[in-house]
A and B are shown apart, each in its own frame.
Chain A
């Protein structure tokens, strides 16, 4: 088949968005992480049922809990930001509205990540 692609273009394989399969790949990598970290989160919440504040605080601040929890927050917010970006690009066709929605999407994901990470670190490092 004849192609209009130059050999260099073919080697790079980045497409018109210049990102290639980067988006796809990040979504898969975070998805794999989320499977394990999501199960961990469910276990963590179930194990904290009925626990008082002091117990919950101590547990959430424990390194073996806090580290995977931080992992979940980072992996989860990256995953959900990419996912919502695709939904916005699929359904919001008006250019200005789309740009605003994409920006709000990033702000939301970053806000969730910052608030959660800060809280976990505060529980871990005391005060």
Chain B
């Protein structure tokens, strides 16, 4: 329902500033990434369901799934999946701290935002080191 001036053109009203106006602060970037990683995990659940369905169907379906995971593209997706899961998890933990009403001074906000990124990258590295070394 566009508001018009009655002469066929849209009234040009001042708009409140939006994303493109602000310089990207780290907490804002992490907030956006939290939503994007959440969306990615939503569709990533297809991969988890595929894995379980393949296991329930039998050796052929299961081995086919493993074969797909073993390709370069498959490995890149799984590496990305690991980081996305870890990052969304760390973002969630950051939000728990904020939910409790703590950590709202600017310095702490920055530390928590950078910290969640550092933690997610570290955890991803640890998981893939375990994979590389055959631990667990």
- A48 CB, min distance to chain B CBs, angstroms: 9
A92 within 8 A of B: no
The SS class assigned to the A binding surface is helix
Q: For the complex, count residues of A whose C-beta is within 8 A of B.
A: 32
CA A76 to CA B45, docked complex, whole Å: 9
B59 to chain A: closest residue by CB = A53
A54 to chain B: closest residue by CB = B59
B46 and A122 contacting across the interface, CB-CB below 8 Å:
no
B136 and A43 contacting across the interface, CB-CB below 8 Å:
yes
The SS class assigned to the B binding surface is helix
Residues A62-120 near B (CB distance < 8 A):
76-77, 80, 83-84, 87, 108, 112, 115-116, 118-120
- B71 CB, min distance to chain A CBs, angstroms: 15
A77 and B45 contacting across the interface, CB-CB below 8 Å:
yes
Q: Bits for B36-55, please: 1 = Cβ < 8 Å to A, else 0.
A: 00110110011011001101
Asked if A84 meets B42 with Cβ closer than 8 Å, knowing A57-B55, A119-B56, the reply is yes
A35 within 8 A of B: yes
B56 and A118 contacting across the interface, CB-CB below 8 Å:
yes
B62 and A80 contacting across the interface, CB-CB below 8 Å:
no
A-B contact pairs, 25 of them (CB 8 A): A28-B96, A35-B89, A42-B82, A43-B136, A46-B130, A47-B136, A50-B134, A53-B55, A57-B55, A60-B52, A76-B45, A80-B38, A80-B41, A83-B42, A87-B38, A87-B39, A108-B42, A112-B46, A112-B49, A116-B48, A118-B56, A119-B56, A120-B52, A122-B56, A123-B56
User: Contacts A57-B55, A76-B45 given; 7 further ones with Cβ under 8 A?
Assistant: A28-B96, A42-B127, A53-B59, A80-B42, A84-B42, A112-B45, A112-B48
Q: Interface residues, chain A, CB within 8 Å of chain B?
A: 28, 31-32, 34-35, 38, 41-43, 46-47, 49-50, 53, 56-57, 60, 76-77, 80, 83-84, 87, 108, 112, 115-116, 118-120, 122-123
List the 9 closest pairs (A to B, CB-CB), nearest first.
A119-B56, A119-B52, A53-B59, A122-B56, A46-B136, A80-B42, A47-B136, A112-B45, A115-B49
